[in-house]
Amino acid sequence: MSTAIVWFRRDLRIADQPAVRAALEKSDKVHFVFIWSPEDESLGSASRWWLHYSLLALHQSLEKTYGVQLELFRGKPAAILEDLISKSQAQFLYWSRLYDPQTRKRDEKIKEHFKKKGLEVKSFNASLLFEPTMIANKSGKPFQVFSPFWRHCLASGPIESARAAVSKKLVASKSLSSLSLRDLGLLPKIKWDKKMAEVWRPGELGAQERLAVFLKAAVKSYSTDRNIPGVEGSSRLSPHLHFGEISPHQIWNSTSSIINSSGNSSRVRASSVAKNSAEVFLREIGWREFAYHLLYHFPHTPDEPLRAEFKKFPWRKSKEDFEAWTKGRTGYPIVDAGMRELWATGWMHNRVRMVVASFLVKHLLIEWQKGAAWFLDTLVDADLASNTLGWQWASGSGADAAPYFRIFNPILQGEKFDPDGAYVRRWVPELADLSNKFIHKPWLLENSPALYPAPIVDHAFARKRALQAFAQLRLNDSLLQ
């Protein structure tokens, strides 16, 4: 009897999972394998916490649906797969594709190696609506601006439907002497994760539940509410998407069915708002696709600016300022609230991500790579593609970037998007008693809260300094030409 190995990575689900489906079609003996390789992929503590529970959830659903366990290993994937294949005599090795430069290189080698040994090795698309190789502009080049990219994607043909999980009982095969989940050492040694468990439910079921809740209510007013961090207006699907607990196809299918069914309702007015909101939401899925497009075609961008002239930007070095930023002690309430939300829950509202990123890069003039690294280290949805796009956007050095002169005013952003201070009050409790008038500028109070720091930099001063620095950059650039 033939044997297949499914190598799970960031596709931790069983529905709409082409590698699993292919293996089940080929064989009644399948080993489901996950290899924890911190040497290849450094995950922050929040992401590790998530991964632990996501693996637990995957293990449970594999057992329930197929009657077999998830087998866990630790080390270099090539070596571990070699061992597994010789022990199991597997003929088929399947996985879902990843798109970051290092992993692509590693996986290509592994594929070539086992093909040479006579195995059928296949990789599948399990995480993108439009893989980077499918999309190019008229001159055959990758897109660098979102709108034309997304227009092109939407015009490039219908999006495939998500497929349900195949249900089938597999032949129990001898386990490959795997580790226990605890042996992977993904959980934190210090117990800081209590808040995480209150906020998140990692795993495929948690993802489906999150999507269902979002589509039932919040999606209707997504286009406006998604900007208000004090309101639960966003889907919070990002960590589920990152670990592949849900596919964009599944999200696409269920969301577009709302768009299509809202046309013949009697409440035409209300439904057209909902329809627009659903489209705005799907556009955000499009931004994720765009991020993978850029990472694939411009593999240097996690470390270096896409626009080369930014390499010479006169960044400041200030350990103290960076630390104040990470700890949520900059003296600007909306910035500090965001950084503290991140620290407590491993997540930050997107509006606030833009504000804190702009603050680090433009007010403090600290290089975006440092902010990007902090985000990767602390976010549960830490994703190289999306994170790179976001930070390059904020610094003005990337594709479709914010112009250099676009500097967020942290006071105005707070007043505009957190007008009643609900978000600040939640995450910066020492300001909870302030009136709406002062909640975003507590330093103007006669006796401002003693425990809360004064602004580490004056806004007007910082704005001028940033504009000067960016002007210098443009000067350098024109002198070179």
Partner DNA sequence: TGAAATGTTGGGGCG
Partner DNA sequence: ACGCCCCAACATTTC
179 near DNA, judged by CB under 7 A: no
190 near DNA, judged by CB under 7 A: no
231 near DNA, judged by CB under 7 A: no
Q: Which is nearer to DNA, 10 or 440 (CB)?
A: 440
Span 146-165, contacts to DNA by CB under 7 A: 146
Span 409-448, contacts to DNA by CB under 7 A: 409, 412-413, 416-417
Phi, psi of 112 (to 5 degrees): -60, -45
Q: Which of 115, 406, 437, 474 binds DNA (CB under 7 A)?
A: 406
10 Å CB burial of residue 344 (0-12, 13-18, 19+) is: middle
Q: Distance between CA atoms of 306 and 304, rounded to whole angstroms?
A: 6
56 near DNA, judged by CB under 7 A: no
DSSP state of 179: B
92 near DNA, judged by CB under 7 A: no
29 near DNA, judged by CB under 7 A: no
Tokens in use for 168? 């089938």
475 near DNA, judged by CB under 7 A: no
Q: Which of 48, 351, 362, 363 binds DNA (CB under 7 A)?
A: 351
276 near DNA, judged by CB under 7 A: no
Between helix 268-297 and helix 248-261 the angle, nearest 10°, is 160
Q: Distance between CA atoms of 320 and 307, rounded to whole angstroms?
A: 28
User: Site size for DNA, by CB under 7 A?
Assistant: 21
User: In terms of Cα–Cα distance, which of 73, 65, 66 is closest to 9?
Assistant: 73
Q: Distance between CA atoms of 428 and 451, rounded to whole angstroms?
A: 11
Q: Is 2 helix (H, G, I), strand (E, B) or coil?
A: coil
Q: Distance between CA atoms of 66 and 79, rounded to whole angstroms?
A: 27
Q: Which of 182, 405, 420, 436 binds DNA (CB under 7 A)?
A: 405
Helices (H) and strands (E) in the chain, counts: 19, 5
Q: Which is nearer to DNA, 10 or 351 (CB)?
A: 351
**Which among 20-28, 99-107, 327-335, 463-471 is the span making contact with DNA, rule CB under 7 A?**
463-471
Shortest Å distance, C-beta 246 to DNA: 22
297 near DNA, judged by CB under 7 A: no
Contact between 333 and 359 under an 8 Å Cβ cutoff? The reply is no
- Give me the residues that bind DNA (CB under 7 A), please: 146, 227, 283, 351, 354, 402-403, 405-409, 412-413, 416-417, 459-460, 463, 467, 471
